[in-house]
Structure 1
Amino acid sequence: MNPQTLSLRALLFLGLWHAGRRGLASAPELRDQPKKIAVVGAGIGGTAAAYFLRQEFGAGVKIDVFESGTVGGRLATVKIGDYEYETGGSMIHPLNLHMKHFIEKLGIPPRKEVSSKMAIFDGKELMFEESDWFIVNVFRMLWRYGFNFLRMQMWVESVLDKFMRIYQYQQYGYSFSSVKTLLHAMGGDGFLALMNQTLEETMIGEGFSQIFLNDIVAPITRANYGQSVRIHGFVGAVSLAGADSGLWAVDGGNKRVCSGLLYNSKSELIPARVTSIAVRVRPSKKGTTASFYEVSYVGESGSAHSLYDIVVIATPLHQGKYDITFSGFSPPIPSHYPGHYHQTVSTVVHGLLNTSYLGTAEPASEFTVSDVLTTDSKGSVISSLISLNPVHIPAGYTQPPASQAKVWKVSSSQPLSQEQLQNMFLSWDSVSETRWLAYPAYRSPHRKTPPFILHNRLYYLNAVEWAASAMEMSAISARNVALLAHHRWHGQVGKIDQEDLHTRLRGEL
């Protein structure tokens, strides 16, 4: 598919964004709106949930967002010298329509583009280095891998074509009660099959060569998720989409979107850690009883609690991530779900790269590679080595060559030793290390994903991460959970777990 087709497709969905959701059938009479909603977590998922919940439930509901850390969560920056640099989620796909909608709504521009060049490192030497000339890169790929690279792009695009269906479902107010039904609405049995086989098995089955997987696909999955081609096929396809051209980021840092969504949602930020959620039954003015969720939390002022009609948990309920005790629920809700999060260590270094570490004889003054990806070999201590640009590109900025000190982000599964740093850099004047439990450790066959619905009006947004962890996946899940909460509150079951959208659209034409 050519770029014109892609842009037309994106424009089609963006043009329909506000138009269709309430248009299929007149909504039944709605019950009174909830009075209070809690969102636990102020990352991209939690702040997007607050934004979409405000859209669904209107101005009258009070929305509280709990966050014990900083707004943005895994979208974070670090300041080195006069500039800030991205240390968390960094790049956004051109077809991530929720993220595009957010920056348009908030009036935040995308970051200016800075040219980059990629190389692949096998732990001893650079086995591929991108040329400044596109045609040279094409011939190099054809010579070594035949048409595998072109076929990979076509395969990823076929997955994206199906993925895009979720935007149309959400425009018309459809929601899904589980990750399984959401994926099935996108891509049918094919997407469910991807969750239950490795990316390696999937691509070998599609006719890709093992050498292509080892040399090209594995470096991409290692750069994006710190894991090999033995991740499951769906997250593998998402990872490969992250190698497309046209990737972008937010001027001033991606975390600005979270702050902007929080402000736009007119929510109250409560800087506290939620410790427990319990079911409470209270008498109502109609002489009956009503159930609420009591959210207990600890902040700078000590312990407190408050009652809510609806609660959305937008932080991972997994060992080592967040501890919430659930009481009074039948059946019981576990405090942690199976599986674990993969550790990625981001070491941001302002220093002078030792280009000989990469096995190149090229003079540092002529070494203009900015993104070094690594193969899955014993010699690869790191997952990637990326030259960072500031989150705001000043006028006249150009990326300095490797002969000058600049900012590099080294990704690895374990903290780097002093010796390893000395091997990679001739000198440095600052080192900043961040240990992220950034995304799940993806395994195949895939275990049962956690549910979106934990209880009647208690929802778990981060269940979607077990399909794939990405900014747009969190935004899609936020939209889905807001719709799900709205439909279940008002008894609109006809908009839940239905895959008849296109049939209904044809019937109304």
Structure 2
Amino acid sequence: MTYSTVEELLKSINPDFIEDVQISTAEGFVKEGLSNRTISELVMAGLIVNYGQTTAAHKFVGSVSSATGDGNLWSIVGGNKLLPEKLLKYSGATLINAKVEKIKWDEQYEQYLVSYYVDRFAHRENKPDRNITLTDKNLVTKVYDIVIVAAPLTRDTSNIVFEKLPSLTFVPDGRYHRTVCTIVKGKLNHRYFGERNEANEIYSIKDNLLINSVARIYSVHKRPRKGESEVWKVFSQKPLSKDDLSEMFLRLIDVKVVDWLAYPHYDSNQTLGSFVLAKNLYHVNAIEWAASAMEMSVIGAKNVALLAYKNWRGVNVDNSEKDEL
């Protein structure tokens, strides 16, 4: 089956999931029989480290967050980034590394004109394409029958301009939550966190502290030997100053910072969006308003791919064509 909205998809899995996005994690877990202490400590710690948010977030995302407490997680040798890289390679798709500026509907031909910025000289080295025009401002416009947007579309995350769409389905008018990930190679000062003994992970259960969590990062191949340099991942709501890091670490060898709007800011009574923005225009990231996770994105992406195929070919995809999510 394919689903046009996130609500339809959740209902198909379990009708109770719709109720879960209408109540807070705290309220929902109380109904499940968890104690207030368990919720305020264990569940809260998971939400702060995974989403930088509290148990005021809706119960569905709180449940997804709590599921990460299972120790049976995995990593890919060389980094999890290899998963999308290998999928791209074996799909045979062409990747154009460019910033999309505008998506315009051509009513006469019922096609989309997608404009994006590219490196002018690199573009000229490619084979000419009659469907592409190039302006002096390095803005390429190309014709597409189907467009799938795999990026957030809130006002704080997207500058894509949509023009003359046949109709535009509602997109939740929310915002994305800022998370700063600081990777530090060095020696952690455990006493700064009130720890007498060395700990591998430190989690916060309050949302107004300087950091959300600190966790040691291990190699996929082996754990570091005693005396070898340690690598730590620090999550925070805002960038950490040099003074902050100097207090947290006894020795700093290297520091890398990734500061981004990582996932939606969740509320109870959450509004869910649609996978269909307009005719032949789809939005994978709509599923993030239920919960933002790589696994959720895979579900959303497969649903959109099947939905686009079904609508374009005008056929009903059945189980024999492996349509099940």
TM beyond 0.5: yes
SS in 2 for 1:270: coil
Amino acid at match of 2:117: V
Q: CA deviation at 1:221?
A: 1.1
SS in 2 for 1:268: coil
The 8 Å contact of residues 167 and 279 in structure 2, kept in 1 or not, is answered as no
Matched, 1:185 2:12: yes
Q: CA deviation at 1:337?
A: 4.7
Matched, 1:195 2:21: yes
Q: CA deviation at 1:360?
A: 2.2
Match of 1:384 in 2: 213
Distance in 1 separating the partners of 2:104 and 2:288:
25
SS in 2 for 1:269: coil
> Quick one: percent identity of the two aligned structures?
36
Distance in 2 separating the partners of 1:354 and 1:303:
50
Distance in 2 separating the partners of 1:279 and 1:377:
44
Equivalent positions of 1:319-468 (< 5 A) are: 319-332=155-168, 337-362=172-197, 367=198, 369-376=199-206, 378=208, 380-390=209-219, 392-393=220-221, 397-400=222-225, 405-447=229-271, 449-468=272-291
Matched, 1:308 2:144: yes
Amino acid at match of 1:373: Y
Amino acid at match of 1:331: S
Q: CA deviation at 1:421?
A: 1.4
Distance in 2 separating the partners of 1:244 and 1:444:
25
Distance in 1 separating the partners of 2:290 and 2:97:
30
Distance in 2 separating the partners of 1:377 and 1:465:
21
Matched, 1:484 2:307: yes
Q: Could you tell me which runs of 5 or more consecutive residues in structure 2 were left unpaired when the two chains were aligned.
A: 121-137
The 8 Å contact of residues 326 and 333 in structure 1, kept in 2 or not, is answered as no
Distance in 2 separating the partners of 1:215 and 1:399:
30
Equivalent positions of 1:60-75 (< 5 A) are: none
Match of 2:133 in 1: none
Question: Taking structure 1 as reference, are residues 337 and 191 closer, same or farther at Cα in structure 2, changes over 3 Å only?
Answer: closer
The 8 Å contact of residues 274 and 295 in structure 1, kept in 2 or not, is answered as yes
Question: Taking structure 1 as reference, are residues 441 and 482 closer, same or farther at Cα in structure 2, changes over 3 Å only?
Answer: same
1:166-199 per-residue CA deviation (whole Å, 9 max, x = no partner) reads: xxxxxxxx110100000000011x1000000011
Match of 1:65 in 2: none
The 8 Å contact of residues 175 and 495 in structure 1, kept in 2 or not, is answered as no
Question: Taking structure 1 as reference, are residues 442 and 424 closer, same or farther at Cα in structure 2, changes over 3 Å only?
Answer: same
Equivalent positions of 1:70-469 (< 5 A) are: 174-188=1-15, 190-282=16-108, 290-301=109-120, 302-332=138-168, 337-362=172-197, 367=198, 369-376=199-206, 378=208, 380-390=209-219, 392-393=220-221, 397-400=222-225, 405-447=229-271, 449-469=272-292
TM-score, structure 1 as length reference: 0.57
Q: CA deviation at 1:384?
A: 0.8
Distance in 2 separating the partners of 1:224 and 1:327:
36
Q: CA deviation at 1:322?
A: 2.3
SS in 2 for 1:385: strand
Distance in 2 separating the partners of 1:241 and 1:258:
23
Amino acid at match of 1:386: A
Question: Taking structure 1 as reference, are residues 209 and 332 closer, same or farther at Cα in structure 2, changes over 3 Å only?
Answer: closer
Q: Which one has the bigger helix percentage?
A: 1
Amino acid at match of 1:471: M
Q: CA deviation at 1:400?
A: 4.5
Distance in 1 separating the partners of 2:3 and 2:25:
25
The 8 Å contact of residues 48 and 207 in structure 2, kept in 1 or not, is answered as no
The 8 Å contact of residues 487 and 495 in structure 1, kept in 2 or not, is answered as no
Match of 1:151 in 2: none
Distance in 1 separating the partners of 2:8 and 2:172:
20
The 8 Å contact of residues 223 and 384 in structure 1, kept in 2 or not, is answered as yes
Q: CA deviation at 1:319?
A: 2.1
The 8 Å contact of residues 353 and 426 in structure 1, kept in 2 or not, is answered as yes
Equivalent positions of 1:41-60 (< 5 A) are: none
Distance in 1 separating the partners of 2:207 and 2:289:
26
Distance in 2 separating the partners of 1:412 and 1:446:
24
* Worse-matched range after superposition: 416-425 or 428-437: 416-425
Distance in 2 separating the partners of 1:262 and 1:203:
39
The 8 Å contact of residues 246 and 252 in structure 2, kept in 1 or not, is answered as no
Q: CA deviation at 1:333?
A: 6.5
State the number of aligned residues. Answer: 303
Distance in 2 separating the partners of 1:186 and 1:475:
15
TM-score, structure 2 as length reference: 0.88
Distance in 2 separating the partners of 1:224 and 1:252:
22
The 8 Å contact of residues 166 and 279 in structure 2, kept in 1 or not, is answered as no
Q: CA deviation at 1:387?
A: 0.6
Distance in 2 separating the partners of 1:436 and 1:359:
29
Distance in 2 separating the partners of 1:317 and 1:297:
16
Q: Could you tell me which runs of 5 or more consecutive residues in structure 1 were left unpaired when the two chains were aligned.
A: 1-173, 283-289, 502-509
The 8 Å contact of residues 353 and 405 in structure 1, kept in 2 or not, is answered as no
Distance in 1 separating the partners of 2:97 and 2:180:
26
The 8 Å contact of residues 326 and 332 in structure 1, kept in 2 or not, is answered as no
Distance in 1 separating the partners of 2:110 and 2:228:
63
What is the RMSD computed on CA atoms of the aligned residues?
Answer: 2.0
1:375-425 per-residue CA deviation (whole Å, 9 max, x = no partner) reads: 1165x32111011123x52xxx32345x76411111000111223212211
The 8 Å contact of residues 279 and 293 in structure 1, kept in 2 or not, is answered as yes
Distance in 1 separating the partners of 2:195 and 2:7:
47
